[in-house]
Amino acid sequence: MAIDFRIRDFFHPVLIGRLWREFERNPWMPVAEQQRHQENRLRQIVAHVWEQVPHYRRVLEEAGLSPADIQTVADLPKLPVLSKQQARAAGSALHAADQRRLHPVEYHTSGTSGTPLTLLHDKYSNALEFVYYWRHWSWAGYRLGDSFAELSTLYFLKTGREDRSSAWQPHLRRLLLSSHQVSTSSAGAMARELERRGSLFLKGVASTAYHLALCMREAGCSPRPLRAVISTGEVLLPHQRALIEQVFGCRVLDSYGHMERTVAVSQCEHGGRHVNMDYGVLEFINHRPAPDGDAVLAEGIGTGLHNRAMPFLRYETGDTFELFRESRACPCGRTFPLIKAIHGRQEECVVTPDGRHLTSLFILPEFVAGLREAQFVQEGADALTIRVVPGDAFDTAQEERLLSFTQKLTGPTMRVRLARCGPADLVRTAGGKRRMVIPLAASTVRRDE
Ligand SMILES: [Zn+2]
């Protein structure tokens, strides 16, 4: 997800210190004890939504349930699944009535679907998010204060530095590399910057990290080896992993989560994808055999255990998970359960005439008011169309804003135009899911593919 990381939203040292001690211990505890902790948390959050969250109070009442009926994870299916569309329709009815005392930070996100949703993250869950990342990075050897690099688009847009390829934040020891400036001509400068700042880790959306590695290889640069690359936001494909590991001389640790903060899966140093039981409850529904017969495919449903300002119970992740037929232990010794793979979050990219791969276009609708839906369609090597389903507030000023931001990312050699259209004019997958970006090769595919 494309939300910028503001350190002040996460910096709650006392809370973080307490949570760290707990989080450091959790992955090694016996599974039965993990379950006990998880269900304690679940009961607390169910009691909270009953008292404070209008949407869930109504859902529980309509189902003839009270908090006493949801005591364990096995009780969760008594509640209906909340789809992304239902969440958007519910809007502020998902916000807790007592949110102010929880000190929430508000985020407006398009998600990958392009339709806005206002999320609230309370102080506690922001501290927890920090600790969750810290723990995962520590599996790769990270210690607080280590120098790291991060691929970002939002930072450069927000600070008006679209032309810069990097920025250094000494107080965080963070080197920001501009995702939309990654190219063979900028790769050398980025490699030198990584070395100059002593970056030990690199975090980035999977496809962007891959394109950086690809450009570095094509430019013939060999960056100083890192300790790990942490990939986020999308499915990391095997060829992407192989190239990133080769170019940066280290392992890639993949991570999975979303801004609704219901589930987190993180890959350990042995390659195991662990479900973080202390973060949320990940349920699987609609099981079916995987094509290779050795695994099972299922849809993931997430229940967050911490964010009281805007809790999500049984939230549809929209992603398909590949599960082992039988539970297995990881050589790392952590007892968090393992899943085999995650499918369905791969973003498509647009290639500019000057050879840059843009993987972050999907964040642009966040900067524009009044969009109902949007889709970026590359129609030629130098032609990009933004299809827009306008809402009431989408006026010419917003139209110019969207065009201007897009042009900043693509550069002047791409011809960018905007086409207003209806929802039926957007390209959808066989499953009816709209894709945010349609790359050149796919843009001629019929809508009913
Ligand atoms: Zn492991």
383 pLDDT more than 60? yes
Span 394-407, pLDDT tens digits = 999 999 999 998 99
* Same-domain check for residues 33 and 49: yes
* Same-domain check for residues 337 and 358: no
Q: Which range is least confidently modeled, 104-113, 115-124, 329-338?
A: 104-113
Q: Does residue 76 belong to any structural domain of this protein? A: yes
89 pLDDT more than 70? yes
Q: How far is the CA of 17 from the centre of ligand 1 (A)?
A: 24
Q: Does residue 377 belong to any structural domain of this protein? A: yes
Q: What is the mean pLDDT of residues 76-82?
A: 97
User: What's the chain's average pLDDT?
Assistant: 87
Domain C-terminal end among 343, 373, 401: 343
Question: Tokens standing for 35?
Answer: 């379950």
Phi and psi at residue 206, to the nearest 5°: -50, -50
Residue 103 per-residue DSSP state: -
Beta bridge mates, 338? 274
Q: How far is the CA of 12 from the centre of ligand 1 (A)?
A: 29
Q: Classify burial at 373, counting beta carbons within 10 Å of its beta carbon; exposed 0-12, middle 13-18, buried 19 or more.
A: buried
Q: How far is the CA of 41 from the centre of ligand 1 (A)?
A: 24
Q: How far is the CA of 256 from the centre of ligand 1 (A)?
A: 15
Q: How far is the CA of 265 from the centre of ligand 1 (A)?
A: 11
Question: Tokens standing for 279?
Answer: 């973060």
Q: How far is the CA of 302 from the centre of ligand 1 (A)?
A: 21
CATH value at residue 317: 3.40.50.12780
Amino acid identity of residue 292, one-letter, is: D
Q: Does residue 165 belong to any structural domain of this protein? A: no
Q: Does residue 90 belong to any structural domain of this protein? A: yes
Q: How far is the CA of 32 from the centre of ligand 1 (A)?
A: 18
**What single string gives the DSSP state of each residue in 61-95?**
HHTT--GGG--SGGGGGGSPPB-HHHHHHHGGGGS
Higher pLDDT, 381 or 71: 71
Q: How far is the CA of 333 from the centre of ligand 1 (A)?
A: 6
* Same-domain check for residues 396 and 252: no
Q: How far is the CA of 329 from the centre of ligand 1 (A)?
A: 8
Q: How far is the CA of 137 from the centre of ligand 1 (A)?
A: 13
CA dist., res. 447 & res. 70, Å (int): 42
114 pLDDT more than 60? no
Q: Are 151 and 205 in contact (CB under 8 A)?
A: yes
| pLDDT (0 to 100) of residue 431 | 46
Q: How far is the CA of 73 from the centre of ligand 1 (A)?
A: 23
Give the residue among 144, 67, 142, 133 at the shortest CA–CA distance from 279.
133
Q: How far is the CA of 306 from the centre of ligand 1 (A)?
A: 24
* Same-domain check for residues 327 and 362: no
312 pLDDT more than 60? yes
Q: Does residue 448 belong to any structural domain of this protein? A: no
Hunting for tokens 């695994």 — which residue is that? 295
* Same-domain check for residues 299 and 365: no
| pLDDT (0 to 100) of residue 430 | 47
| pLDDT (0 to 100) of residue 358 | 78
| pLDDT (0 to 100) of residue 6 | 61
* Same-domain check for residues 370 and 335: no
Q: How far is the CA of 334 from the centre of ligand 1 (A)?
A: 6
Question: Tokens standing for 85?
Answer: 């569309």
Q: How far is the CA of 335 from the centre of ligand 1 (A)?
A: 8
Q: How far is the CA of 26 from the centre of ligand 1 (A)?
A: 13
Tell me how crowded residue 280 is: count the other CB atoms within 10 A of its CB: 26
Q: How far is the CA of 324 from the centre of ligand 1 (A)?
A: 14
CATH value at residue 385: 3.30.300.30
Span 260-280, pLDDT tens digits = 999 999 999 999 999 999 999
Q: How far is the CA of 221 from the centre of ligand 1 (A)?
A: 32
Question: Tokens standing for 190?
Answer: 């980025």
Beta bridge mates, 202? 149, 229
Q: How far is the CA of 150 from the centre of ligand 1 (A)?
A: 24
What is the count of structural domains for the chain? Answer: 2
* Same-domain check for residues 61 and 126: yes
Q: How far is the CA of 141 from the centre of ligand 1 (A)?
A: 14
Q: How far is the CA of 271 from the centre of ligand 1 (A)?
A: 6
Domain C-terminal end among 287, 322, 343: 343
Q: Which H, E and C letters describe 253-285, residue by residue?
A: EEEEECCCCCCEEEECCCCCEEECCCCEEEEEE
Q: Are 369 and 258 in contact (CB under 8 A)?
A: no
Q: How far is the CA of 223 from the centre of ligand 1 (A)?
A: 28
Q: Are 316 and 140 in contact (CB under 8 A)?
A: no
Q: How far is the CA of 274 from the centre of ligand 1 (A)?
A: 7
Q: How far is the CA of 338 from the centre of ligand 1 (A)?
A: 8
Domain C-terminal end among 311, 343, 375: 343
The segment with the largest mean pLDDT, out of 115-129, 334-348, 427-441, is 115-129
Q: How far is the CA of 250 from the centre of ligand 1 (A)?
A: 17
Percent of the chain with pLDDT over 70: 90
Q: How far is the CA of 304 from the centre of ligand 1 (A)?
A: 22
Span 220-258, pLDDT tens digits = 999 999 999 999 877 787 878 999 999 999 999 999 998
* Same-domain check for residues 118 and 241: yes
* Same-domain check for residues 336 and 357: no
Q: Are 208 and 233 in contact (CB under 8 A)?
A: no
Strand order in the sheet with 228-232: 166-169, 174-178, 148-152, 201-205, 228-232, 251-257, 264-267, 273-275, 338-339
* Same-domain check for residues 91 and 231: yes
Q: Which range is least confidently modeled, 152-166, 196-210, 289-303, 426-440?
A: 426-440
Q: Does residue 209 belong to any structural domain of this protein? A: no
Confidence of residue 346 (pLDDT cuts 50, 70, 90): very low
Q: Which range is least confidently modeled, 112-121, 274-283, 379-388?
A: 112-121
Residue 227 host element (H or E): none
Confidence of residue 282 (pLDDT cuts 50, 70, 90): very high
Confidence of residue 291 (pLDDT cuts 50, 70, 90): low
CA dist., res. 407 & res. 384, Å (int): 10
Exposure string of 330-351, with b = 16+ CB inside 10 Å and e = fewer, is bebebbbbbbbbbebbebbbbb
Span 128-184, pLDDT tens digits = 999 999 999 999 999 989 999 999 988 888 888 888 999 999 998 999 999 888 888
| pLDDT (0 to 100) of residue 88 | 86
Q: How far is the CA of 24 from the centre of ligand 1 (A)?
A: 14
Q: How far is the CA of 139 from the centre of ligand 1 (A)?
A: 9
Q: How far is the CA of 440 from the centre of ligand 1 (A)?
A: 39
The segment with the largest mean pLDDT, out of 244-258, 286-300, 367-381, is 244-258
* Same-domain check for residues 18 and 62: yes
Q: How far is the CA of 390 from the centre of ligand 1 (A)?
A: 46
Beta strands 383-390; 415-420: pairing state: parallel
Which residue range(s) make up the domain with 393? 350-442
Q: How far is the CA of 292 from the centre of ligand 1 (A)?
A: 23
Q: Does residue 316 belong to any structural domain of this protein? A: yes
Q: How far is the CA of 57 from the centre of ligand 1 (A)?
A: 38
Q: Does residue 259 belong to any structural domain of this protein? A: yes
* Same-domain check for residues 37 and 103: yes
Q: How far is the CA of 23 from the centre of ligand 1 (A)?
A: 15
Beta bridge mates, 106? 120
